[in-house]
Amino acid sequence: MKYLITGLGNIGYEYDGTRHNIGFEAVDYLCKTLQGEWQGNHHGDLAEVKFKGRTLILLKPNTYMNLSGKAIRYWLQKEKINIENSLTILDDLNLDFGKLRLRAKGSDGGHNGLKSIQEVLATDAYPRLRIGIGSEFSKGKQVNYVLGKWTEDEKAELPHILEQCTTVIQALVTLGFARAMSATGK
């Protein structure tokens, strides 16, 4: 069984350590945990790892957030992976910091990465794991907050959050969607 696990983020050092790139951080953590190695490839960095007999193709698109759908479609087709065996990991400012939400489908919720994916794939029925980044910003400061760096307190919590993401992903590929949802607490 093969899966495409995509972490959403923006390329470039200026985006490293920003809230918007937690999808990249999640797949980086998973890659390190499963002893994978990133390779530059078409539409992004790719790593192939194994977990309990499953092949996980990890992807960090290099298309920027608002064109993520192009990279996901390319790798789903190239690797012959059904959309149900994909997972998109992203930031969500509508969730409290550190809260995880796994869903099989849903709206884009104003997230440019999800908008792109839904446009390119022509469906909202694809699995996604949202990671809460909180909403501690003043009115009109949403972009600065999302593209802002983690606070020291948030940085201290990140390893635990990324470990939880890895647990959810491993449950998803071995136990299925319903059981993986229980790993998120929802």
Residue 128 CA: distances (Å) to CA of 121, 138, 139, 155: 14, 28, 28, 23
Residues marked as catalytic: 20
The encoded tokens of residue 119 equal: 């446009």
| CB-based contact 56:34 (threshold 8 Å) | yes
Buried b (16+ CB within 10 A) or exposed e, 134-162: beeeeeeeeeebbebebeeebeeebeebb
Q: 155's torsion region: left (phi>0), alpha (psi -120 to 50) or beta?
A: alpha
SS3 29: helix
What is the pairing mode between strands 128-132 and 100-103?
Answer: antiparallel
From residue 75, give the alpha-carbon distance in Å to each of 45, 80, 140, 184.
11, 8, 36, 26
Is residue 148 within 8 A of residue 19, CB to CB? The reply is yes
